Every structure is written in C-alpha cells, then in structure tokens.
Amino acid sequence: DGGITQSPKYLFRKEGQNVTLSCEQNLNHDAMYWYRQDPGQGLRLIYYSQIVNDFQKGDIAEGYSVSREKKESFPLTVTSAQKNPTAFYLCASSIVGGTSTDTQYFGPGTRLTVL
C-alpha cells in the first residue's frame, strides 16, 4: 500500500540534544512538508521541499533543519536552538504541477517530548 510513514511514534529528548524525525513516502510525490501542531494553534509549516536537493523555510523554521537527498525521504532535525520543541510533528506530501490540486496527504505523526 502507498502511504507516508513517520518514525518513531513517540520520542523523548533531553534538553540540549538534537533529534531527527523520519518521514518516508512511497506515493512518488514531488513535494514534502513538515508541520508542527500545538493545541489550539492548528498546523504551522516548518519546512517544505518541492524537489530533491531543494527546500524552503516555512513560517516557523528557526531551530529546525531538513535535508532532501532522496525523493521519498524528508527528515527533520530538531536542534537544541529550538526553545520549545515539545509538540506533535506531522509530515505530508503532494503532487506538484500539472493537474495537481494541492491535496496533501499526511503521515501518522511523531509526538516529541522534551524532558
């Protein structure tokens, strides 16, 4: 079955540590996205990538980094510079261009807790 996988489901981090969240898709989508979700604040875009080896900052990129070395993978690193990293992180993907309707498909999410 095609879809988006995120791992791990739950992640615990000590303050001052960097941590990397995994996102993989087998939908052959060009674009991938990372969102942060906090209660009552909806989804906020962290980074997105529309093509391999290229990515753009979203609305809240500070303290995060990404890479896009393969079409199917878009890992997110939460660095120690992120002041309040405890949140639910969602990865998504979509088709770009042509007949795209901008529909994004989401993974199951990773809940990060800083201890």
Partner 1 sequence: AQSVTQLGSHVSVSEGALVLLRCNYSSSVPPYLFWYVQYPNQGLQLLLKYTSAATLVKGINGFEAEFKKSETSFHLTKPSAHMSDAAEYFCAVSDRRAGGTSYGKLTFGQGTILTVHP
For residue 9, the minimal CB distance to partner 1 (Å) is 8
Cβ(19)–Cβ(112) under 8 Å? yes
Q: Would you say 78 or 90 has its CB closer to partner 1?
A: 90
Question: Does the protein bind partner 1 through residue 23 (CB under 8 A)?
Answer: no
Hey, what are 52's tokens?
A: 């391999």
For residue 8, the minimal CB distance to partner 1 (Å) is 13
Residue 7 in 3-state DSSP? strand
Pick the binder of partner 1 from 12, 20, 108, 113 (CB under 8 A): 108
For residue 73, the minimal CB distance to partner 1 (Å) is 17
Residues 27-86 that bind partner 1 (CB under 8 A): 31, 33, 40-43, 45, 48, 50, 58
Q: Would you say 8 or 108 has its CB closer to partner 1?
A: 108
CA distances from 11 to 31, 49, 84, 93 (A): 25, 24, 15, 22
**Start-to-end C-alpha separation, the chain:** 36
Residue 96 in 3-state DSSP? coil
If we measure between CA atoms, which residue out of 28, 42, 46 comes closest to residue 91?
46
- Site for partner 1, rule CB under 8 A: 4, 6, 31, 33, 40-43, 45, 48, 50, 58, 88, 90, 92, 94, 96-97, 100-109, 111
